[in-house]
Amino acid sequence: MAKSNGRRKRRDIFDERMLIVPFGIMFGIWIVAAVACSQQADRLLVAFLIYIGLFIGAGIGTYIALDQNRRELGRRLIMLMMGGLLLVVALFSDHGNMQIEGLFWAFLAGIGPYILLHYALAKIVGPLIFGRIWCGWACWFGMIFNLLPHQHSRFRLPAPWGWLRYLHFIASFVLVAILWLAFNYNGALGRNGLIWFVSGLLLYYVVGIGLALIMRDNRAFCKYLCPISVPMKVTSRFALVKVAGNQEADCANCNVCVEMCPMNIDIPKYIKNGERVLSTECTLCLTCINLCPDDDLWLSFGFDIGGKEHIDYVPPRSRQAAKPS
Ligand code: SF4
Ligand code: SF4
Ligand code: SF4
């Protein structure tokens, strides 16, 4: 590969062949929509399939065609489109309470098939293949957090509070179990489910936005408080698709990838250890791949067992402040 001034030239050639995948998926989904329409399926389902097809074809296709430096903006737009659609469908389709408490009710009471399906696909089985792609591309909370001013948490306040999300997860389960077993209260479906869902949405948005502004870290809620990340962290450990890099490559140690990673993952540490990025905090946002000035990172397909969390706990700004002048 060509090098200039000791650095490799950035990829600047767009390969049209990459468009085959999103457009292929788009037409595949549209065929399913046409079949569903011919079978007189629910109109909402047909509209949903058409939109999802368009989203994958046009959205992902445009993302691939963008210059690498602009792809982060493209991802945020795609996330708004995807998260916004899913939120509207979740709110107006009467499928129940999609908060984690809705899952617990559905699980305990054997009700709410859509809730169970949503969590099974997006939060448990999906991460076995694509890791926490939900968090990087589709979450209706993350899509709003992305719009706040501390996108890359470069100046974040450090906080060792990751354990709080496990506490939140357990507390939610205990609360639901008490309400269901002691009071026969069902917060999964119907009016109760909708009230619980909307209240939970508002609470998460207020707390998440407040925390982001106070901690100077858009994804503070994701790192410290979100109970939904708990099951995803378990299965994403085995994700087939992960970020990888070449151990032999001439990594410039510029730390751009670490500073720009919204989840503060110490990416070069994995690469230097000859591992893929095994952190279960990775949301597959691809920021590190797009911004690495040496193109030393890429998406890979493989299987790993185990995996340590290499997190960059000290924000770059604090490190600089600690340097002797
Ligand atoms: S950690 Fe939670 S709030 Fe953050 S993007 Fe993932 S699911 Fe959404
Ligand atoms: S490691 Fe890369 S893909 Fe994963 S969250 Fe960090 S920047 Fe995004
Ligand atoms: S962005 Fe990361 S992987 Fe790329 S050269 Fe800099 S330190 Fe190395």
Q: Measure the CA–CA gap between 82 and 119, rounded to whole angstroms.
A: 16
Which long-range contacts does 75-81 make (Cβ < 8 Å, 24+ apart)?
75/136, 75/137, 75/285, 75/286, 75/287, 76/143, 76/146, 76/147, 78/137, 79/136, 79/137, 79/138, 79/139, 79/142, 79/143, 79/146, 80/143, 80/146, 81/55
Q: Are 235 and 125 in contact (CB under 8 A)?
A: yes
The response to whether residue 135 sits with its C-beta less than 6 Å from ligand 3 reads no
With b for 16 or more beta-carbon neighbours within 10 A and e for fewer, the 13-25 pattern comes to eeeeeebeebeee
101 closest CA partner among 204, 196, 230, 190: 196
The encoded tokens of residue 116 equal 């169970």
- Candidates 120, 127, 123, 85; CA nearest to 238 is 127
CA dist 196 → 24, 118, 176, 203 (Å): 39, 17, 11, 10
> Is the shortest distance between the CB of 141 and ligand 1 below 6 Å?
yes
Q: What is the CB < 6 Å shell around ligand 2? A: 243, 261-263, 265, 267, 277, 282-288
Q: Whose CA is nearest to atom 4 of ligand 3?
A: 292
Q: Which residues pair with 8 in a beta bridge?
A: 3
**Which ligand does the CA of 277 lie closest to?**
2
- The CB density around residue 100, as the number of other CB atoms within 10 Å, is 21
Ligand nearest to the CA of 246: 3
CA of 283 to the centre of ligand 2 (A): 6
Q: Whose CA is nearest to atom 1 of ligand 1?
A: 222
pLDDT in tens, 265-322: 999 999 999 999 999 999 999 999 999 988 889 999 999 987 789 988 777 665 555 5
- Token readout for 63 is 């993302």
Provide the pLDDT for residue 270: 94
The residue to mutate among 251, 295, 299, having the most atoms of ligand 3 within 8 angstroms of its beta carbon, is 251
Give residue 17's pLDDT.
72
> Counting atoms of ligand 3 from 1, which one is nearest the CA of 253?
7
Expressed in angstroms and rounded, the spacing between residue 219 Cα and the centre of ligand 2 is: 12
How far apart are alpha carbons 138 and 144 in whole angstroms? 11
Give me the pLDDT at residue 21, please.
80
Residue 109: what pLDDT?
86
* pLDDT score, position 11: 53
Beta bridge partners of 180: none
In 10 A of CB 272, how many CB atoms?
Answer: 13
What pLDDT shows up at residue 247? 80
Q: pLDDT tens digits for 257-275?
A: 998 999 999 999 999 999 9
Q: In Å, how far are 107, 120, 223 from 197, measured between CA atoms?
A: 16, 18, 22
206 CA to centre of ligand 1 in angstroms: 14
Q: Which regions in the chain score pLDDT beneath 50?
A: 1-9, 13, 323-325
Q: Ligand 2 atom closest to Cα of 289?
A: 2
